[in-house]
Chain A
Amino acid sequence: MDSDDDPQRLKDLAARLDIARGDVDGGGEGARGGGPVRPSGLGIAWRVSVELVSAVLVGTWLGWLLDGWLGTRPWLMVVFLLFGGAAGVMNVYRVVKGYDDSVGLGQAARRAGARGSSTPKT
């Protein structure tokens, strides 16, 4: 992207821009770096509720489809309803912990750990 004909000058410029930006949109919606930073309470409520409900619905729907395919009408739907609930709780846990950038919980936790304390807690 950048032409590096004068790297030192560009680096200085970048540093100054970062400082200037930090003054302008600190904590605003355009917060930079490491995912959504400091969302509003309503924003979290929206995310959490949608994640919870959607996982349950998708789980139940998946179970219903499998039932139709395998001919075991009510049973798989019941099982997948529970799986959906578990997935929903896990989604919410990820959102709240700020791990929602990955599917595998182990990987996400490791990545968050590797990033260290630079990632602010929601």
Chain B
Amino acid sequence: MREAGETVASPVHQFEIKPLIPVTIGGVDVSFTNSALFMVLAVVASYLFLTLGMRQREQVPGRWQSLAEITYEFIAGMIRDNVGKEGFRYFPFIFSLFMFVTMGNLLGMLPYSFTYTSHLAVTGALALTVFIGVTIIGFARHGLHFLRMFFPHGAPILTAPILIPIELISYLSRPFSLSVRLFANMTVGHIMLKVLAGFVVSLGVLFGIVPLAATIGITILEFGIAFLQAYVFTILSCIYLNDAINMH
């Protein structure tokens, strides 16, 4: 038992990126890594989940078709409630975003898998895509009038030198908070699981029961967090989109 305890991998080992197929183009390392592999798997899994689920096209859906329909309805309802009718133009993007994040979080729950949403580079790229896209939509729809968003209507003009930088920083901090929230939740959850599971091995059969029970509880919690964080990421994207589309 003691020897087994010493061979437990470090809790952050699971986040290591390993190149599977080394590729270098023009001095830039663009290897196909385990992170990329799981992104591909997530896309394939989403595709199979939706297309195979909807293959039957029953009037009264079975379990699988129901799940696919619920996912669609869930995102459609989110856009309807938070953005309005105008938002349906961006439904494909929001839906893909939700599926990609959810699948990433869920695939990460499989043993020996890799959680790409636990990397700030991935969540940061997603958040920046949303942020830049939303800003472009805002300027495209409202032109320079979009800048009025940074100055509250009806505030005294003298407060402008203070309010405008504050609003600007508040706006610029969005992609940061969006990406950090998802990344931190996934990283912390996975480290916690690993550490607790390590205790099971090192405490042996007799006392290992306690951390084992805790691990089971946290695993269930992690499944909840996997969905919840995907939901939060998507709904905040919707809220930002709403800002850009319906400015007032």
Stretch at the interface among B7-15, B30-38, B172-180: B172-180
Proximity string of chain A (87-115) to chain B, C-beta cutoff 8 Å, 1 when within and 0 when not: 11011000000001111111100100000
Q: Is B81 an interface residue (CB 8 A)?
A: yes
- B contacts with A: majority SS: helix
CB-based contact B170/A91 at 8 Å: yes
- Please tell me if the beta carbons of B177 and A51 are within 8 angstroms of each other in the complex: yes
A22 within 8 A of B: no
Most buried by B among A33, A36, A87, A103: A103
- Indicate if B5 sits at the interface (CB-CB under 8 A): no
Residues of chain A within 8 A (CB-CB) of B154 are 106
Q: For residue B62, which residues in chain A have a CB less than 8 angstroms away from its CB?
A: none
Interface residues of B in 147-174 (CB under 8 A from A): 148-155, 162, 165-173
Binds A, one of B43-51, B114-122, B197-205, B231-239: B231-239
Pick from A100, A104, A110: contact of B151, CB under 8 Å:
A104
> Secondary structure of the A side of the interface?
helix
B169 touches A84 (CB 8 A): yes
Any A CB within 8 A of the CB of B74: yes
**Inter-chain contacts of B242 with A (CB < 8 A):** 101
Q: How many angstroms from the CA of A33 to the CA of B84 in the assembled complex? A: 11
Residue of B nearest to A104 (CB): B152
**Do the beta carbons of A103 and B235 come within 8 Å of each other?**
no
Q: Which of A35, A43, A51, A106 is the one whose CB lies under 8 Å from B153?
A: A106
| Cα–Cα distance between A91 and B153 once the two chains are bound (Å) | 18
A57/B176 contact (C-beta < 8 A), A29-B228, A50-B181, A103-B243 known = yes
Asked if B227 and A29 sit within 8 Å, CB to CB, the answer is yes
Question: Quick check: B173 and A51 within 8 Å, CB to CB?
Answer: yes
The reply to whether B82 and A32 contact each other, CB–CB distance below 8 Å, is no
Query: Which bracket fits the contact residues of A?
Result: 35 or more
User: Which among A29, A54, A86 has the highest number of chain B CB atoms within 10 Å?
Assistant: A54
23 contacts across the A-B interface (CB closer than 8 A): A30-B231, A35-B235, A43-B228, A43-B232, A54-B173, A54-B177, A58-B169, A58-B176, A80-B165, A83-B165, A86-B162, A86-B166, A87-B165, A101-B82, A101-B239, A103-B149, A103-B167, A103-B243, A104-B148, A104-B149, A106-B152, A106-B153, A107-B248
* Contacts A86-B166, A101-B82 known; 18 new A-B pairs at CB < 8 A: A1-B76, A29-B231, A32-B81, A34-B81, A35-B235, A36-B232, A43-B232, A51-B177, A83-B166, A83-B169, A87-B165, A87-B166, A87-B170, A91-B173, A104-B149, A104-B151, A107-B247, A110-B153
A residues near B (Cβ < 8 Å) are 1, 29-30, 32-36, 43, 46-47, 50-51, 54-55, 57-59, 62, 80, 83-84, 86-88, 90-91, 100-107, 110
What is B's interface to A at a CB cutoff of 8 Å? 74, 76-77, 81-82, 88, 148-155, 162, 165-173, 176-177, 180-181, 184-185, 224, 227-228, 231-232, 235, 239, 242-243, 247-248
